[in-house]
Amino acid sequence: MTQTRKHRYPFVPYAPPRLPVDEGLRAGAEFHRHLDRRRSVRWFSPDPVPVEAIELAVCAANTAPSGAHQQPWTFVATQDVVVKHQIRVAAEQEEQRFYREREIPEWRAALASLETDEHKEFLEVAPWLVVVFAQKHRVLPNGQLQKTYYASESVGIACGFFIAALHSMGLTTLTHTPNPMAFLSRVLHRPATERPYILFPVGYPADDCEVPDLTRKPLSEALVFVGD
């Protein structure tokens, strides 16, 4: 029997179709196989990607759970060659400092197998750049500023959905975090209440695209059961 609850705010029933267990497991295995084919890419094709694909990926991201349902993200997308050039120049400046001056030996070892360097050609080759901003505060309809809760966690989850949605459309991306990223607020005219979170170049992989020959850690390292 359903419980009768008293609500102070509107609630609606939620009853997604219940899959038979074996069907659910099959769907889970297929979903894993699909996600396992995703790779981060640094060589993009300049082939165009329709704006609808970006919109669909952001629609998917926008379904992410968030702290107090504050949805503290803004996705800023550009295919403007001038803006992409500005972003590349500024990002390469930061990366030059990182690779030439600041890079510390532990970083060097951790990044060696990725063969990254300060050159970020993909920032101009990929047809789209999507920069995700985390809203540390949000502006209420009355103009007041409200602190957001768990902004980083919420935006991180939304970015995961975004990446998965792109992959489902045969598109690729790179979770790129030039460090520091403050230049993105300046170039993209974002308010001080938002912080750049991740920069995603989006496109199809180049015909001669390669990725590092990496493997994923086994389930036994990713999942630990406790108790009986």
- Which residues contact ligand IYR (rule: CB under 6 A)? 95, 98, 111, 114, 116, 176-179
Distance CA 131, CA 54 (A): 12
Distance CA 204, CA 44 (A): 6
Q: How far is the CB of 164 from ligand IYR (least distance, A)?
A: 19
Which DSSP category does 69 fall into? Answer: G
Distance CA 173, CA 49 (A): 12
Residue number of the CB closest to ligand IYR reads: 116
Q: How far is the CB of 108 from ligand IYR (least distance, A)?
A: 10
**Residue 144 or 215 having the CB closest to ligand IYR:** 215
Q: How far is the CB of 142 from ligand IYR (least distance, A)?
A: 39
Q: How far is the CB of 220 from ligand IYR (least distance, A)?
A: 24
Which residue in this structure is represented by tokens 């060589």?
43
- Residue 156's closest CA among 133, 125, 179? 133
**Residue 193 or 196 having the CB closest to ligand IYR:** 196
- Residue 38's closest CA among 146, 183, 174? 174
**Residue 95 or 194 having the CB closest to ligand IYR:** 95
- Residue 87's closest CA among 221, 200, 203, 212? 200
**Residue 22 or 115 having the CB closest to ligand IYR:** 115
